[in-house]
Structure 1
Amino acid sequence: MQEIEKYGICQVRLPLPFRLNHVNCYAIKGRAGWWLVDSGLNDEPTRRTWLDFMREYQIRGRDIKGIYLTHYHPDHYGAAGWLQQLSGAPVYISATDAGAADLYWRHGEETFKAVYSLFTENGMPAELTEAVVESALRLLSRVRPHPEEISTLAAGEVQLGDYIYQVLATPGHSDGHLCFYQQDNHILFSGDHLLPQITSNISLWPFADPNPLKNFLQSLAENHRLPDCLVLPAHGNSFTGVQQRVSQLEAHHRERLELMRRVASPGATAYDVCRQVFKEELSLHEIRFAMAETLAHLVFLVERGELKKRYGGGVNIYFG
């Protein structure tokens, strides 16, 4: 990552207890101190990695001037409250994702009851749904303490280190996902919006936008206006060729939509479709995202008129 050090940027790779075993956060040094992009889960391995990094670079808590979050998912939001306690720095996130964090992480015990209903009404067996929801609730301890105060961000400009970055709204992976783009040096902090090897999970959740895939594809279409830049993602290695990657992601979702349309056309629940599309052995954590991603594609197809949906026998049936 030597190419970013001249801009004051350090990558801080934090461990995750999942098959996707890391999240890249970033620390940006400026004349006035340090700024952070994303925080990791709040668990002992994450805290140790942050403290080791701060010790190596001789960063005191008060040197941290701002904590900027690309979105509310736990591997990005989780340690923000701990880092705020350590530093006193403000935490910034989009207003939409601040609301989602409150709903899912402060009131998760109630909110995940709606996830249970969503999954069972779309064909997932109740026993499996209970296990999936219980595994999600175990994440609540890793997103606490919450930031005492959150400052909300909208499209505009922010200072990270000694440079001004544009705040880009990129809804899809989450409703309020943000990227940060430095137009003079052509650097993009892409969060989970653009990843080099895997595709961003696009999921339908209760109390969120009813067509997240539509939003994601619109965000990708707008990304075609970006010049080539160095993309610093939340997972995987940095990369260039942003237009090529955007086109690959668009093609992936076209193929996935066509596959799900074919599978669902004779008549199927979302869980039926999920089992046929995601055939590999999945953990409970992964089943949750596979089911929610299947739903996101199916509702997109329904809105586009390529599938229909009817409710009967306690479940939704999708058909052509």
Structure 2
Amino acid sequence: MTSSTTSTAHAVSPDSGEHWSKEGAWRVTEGIHRIPLPLPMDGLKAVNVYAIETDEGLTLVDGGWSIEVARDLLERCLRDIGYGFGDIRRFLVTHIHRDHYTLATVLGHEYDADVALGIGEKPGLDLLNAATDGGAEIEGNPFLDVLRTAGAHEIAEAWAQGPHELPDPAWWQYPDTWLSGDQQIAVGARTLDAVHTPGHTPGHYVYAEQAAGLLFAGDHVLPTITPSIGFTVPPVADPLGDFMASLTKVRSLPDLTVLPAHGPVAPSSHARVDELLAHHEERLELSLAALAAGPRTGHQVAHELPWTRHDHPYDELDDFAQGMASMETKAHLELLVARGQATCEDTAGGVVFSAVTG
């Protein structure tokens, strides 16, 4: 579900004058180009990688998904602006998800470019690396336990029937630099504020160039959709609370042009943050109202909520979307517990939430 009036499927980006996912190295401003790279089997179609020129070479914000078609397109687009992979000096990765991290770490190790990632992503990388580390294999899909705690047992069984491939070790190598806390990073003559914004993932970072009025927003502030919350392993205690606090943190920065990972360049970080906060407050109200009928799991409450920008019923979603919806609803209920508006109890059927009455 999204609070934006423009759909991702029809969004035109002002830097290109074309649909935001159209191939090319689109000039955002002097010395910065947006390069959309394709995503396989993904409704988002593309991920934006940003190339920042310096006298020493390129810094890329995010890297894309390590698939041949994305790698080839990135190489062509860099060539169009006069560069090659050997000119990349650094990757500033916003978060651990494969459409952001995997091509960055592969190219970083091949071409000796520094790869930076938030330290909060280390538990996730540890989990992925354990899957291929001798006898310490992960059994099955690590999200299945998260689904079960949300009460989505049938969905967990459906996910368990899907293909199971061990992670490619080349995709999940550790970064060269771990980012911790908020800090400033020199990128040539530019100064980027690396701002820790947990929520979508525990180690998510955005990069703000306040002097130029730009926010490299990753998946934290997306102009046409809301990022998934609760779809993280190992799970964290209150991902939605983290996300909303991070939104408030970014709202305290000057109003910046949003350079998102998915979707078009957008004019106002303040306006979009306000929309995202309002969207989640509305979802919290709906979730609390669903508990008025009695104790519920996240999966049960998700059945009572509308989904996607078209307000589809839960039963119209596919198995993957239903799982995501159940985990996200559980995150909303966990924030209600943190606010003192609900209580929770671990049961064999999952975590059961109840409204606080009186």
Q: Could you state the TM-score of these two structures normalised by the residue count of structure 2?
A: 0.81
For the 8 Å contact 1:71–1:174, the answer to whether it is kept is: yes
Partner of 1:268: 296
Partner of 1:310: 345
Structure with bigger RCO (C-alpha 8 Å, 6+ apart): 2
Distance (whole Å) between structure 2 residues aligned to residue 66 and residue 241 of structure 1:
27
For the 8 Å contact 1:229–1:241, the answer to whether it is kept is: yes
Secondary structure of the residue aligned to 2:229 is coil
Distance (whole Å) between structure 2 residues aligned to residue 139 and residue 288 of structure 1:
21
Structure 1: gaps spanning 5 or more residues = none
1:297 to 325, 332, 343: 332
Partner of 1:8: 31
1:120 to 148, 158, 164: 148
For the 8 Å contact 1:203–1:212, the answer to whether it is kept is: yes
Aligned amino acid, residue 288 of structure 1: G
Distance (whole Å) between structure 2 residues aligned to residue 204 and residue 55 of structure 1:
36
Structure 2: gaps spanning 5 or more residues = 1-14, 17-25, 308-312
Distance (whole Å) between structure 1 residues aligned to residue 269 and residue 34 of structure 2:
19
Q: Deviations over 1:56-115 (max 9, x none)?
A: 234233211001100111111121222124421011011111332232465386276553
Partner of 1:217: 244
Partner of 2:234: 207
Aligned amino acid, residue 52 of structure 1: R
Deviating 4+ runs (over 6 angstroms): none
Aligned amino acid, residue 56 of structure 2: A
> How does 1:163-312 map onto structure 2 within 5 Å?
163-203=190-230, 205-265=232-292, 266-277=294-305, 278=307, 279=313, 281-312=316-347
TM-superposed deviation, 1:181: 0.8
Is 1:70–2:91 an aligned residue pair?
A: no
For the 8 Å contact 1:136–1:285, the answer to whether it is kept is: no
Aligned amino acid, residue 243 of structure 2: F
TM-superposed deviation, 1:289: 2.3
Q: Deviations over 1:183-231 (max 9, x none)?
A: 1111110001111111122216443420011111111222222212211
Distance (whole Å) between structure 2 residues aligned to residue 139 and residue 13 of structure 1:
27
Distance (whole Å) between structure 1 residues aligned to residue 116 and residue 161 of structure 2:
29
C-alpha change, 1:7 and 1:249, in structure 2 (3 Å) is same
TM-superposed deviation, 1:305: 2.0
1:41 to 51, 65, 69: 65
For the 8 Å contact 2:298–2:330, the answer to whether it is kept is: yes
Greater Cα shift, 199-208 or 235-244: 199-208
For the 8 Å contact 2:85–2:111, the answer to whether it is kept is: yes
Q: Could you state the TM-score of these two structures normalised by the residue count of structure 1?
A: 0.89
C-alpha change, 1:45 and 1:282, in structure 2 (3 Å) is farther
C-alpha change, 1:8 and 1:288, in structure 2 (3 Å) is farther
Secondary structure of the residue aligned to 2:171 is coil
For the 8 Å contact 2:75–2:84, the answer to whether it is kept is: no
Is 1:157–2:184 an aligned residue pair?
A: yes
Secondary structure of the residue aligned to 1:181 is strand
Distance (whole Å) between structure 1 residues aligned to residue 79 and residue 279 of structure 2:
42
Greater Cα shift, 305-314 or 216-225: 305-314
Secondary structure of the residue aligned to 2:172 is coil
Distance (whole Å) between structure 2 residues aligned to residue 86 and residue 13 of structure 1:
22
Distance (whole Å) between structure 2 residues aligned to residue 83 and residue 56 of structure 1:
19
Q: More helix by proportion, 1 or 2? A: 1
Aligned amino acid, residue 101 of structure 1: L
Distance (whole Å) between structure 2 residues aligned to residue 253 and residue 196 of structure 1:
15
Identity %: 31
C-alpha change, 1:136 and 1:178, in structure 2 (3 Å) is farther
Secondary structure of the residue aligned to 1:316 is strand
Partner of 1:146: 172
For the 8 Å contact 2:128–2:172, the answer to whether it is kept is: no
RMSD value, Cα: 2.5
Partner of 2:138: 110
For the 8 Å contact 2:106–2:171, the answer to whether it is kept is: yes
Greater Cα shift, 225-234 or 99-108: 99-108
Greater Cα shift, 211-220 or 149-158: 149-158
Aligned amino acid, residue 350 of structure 2: V
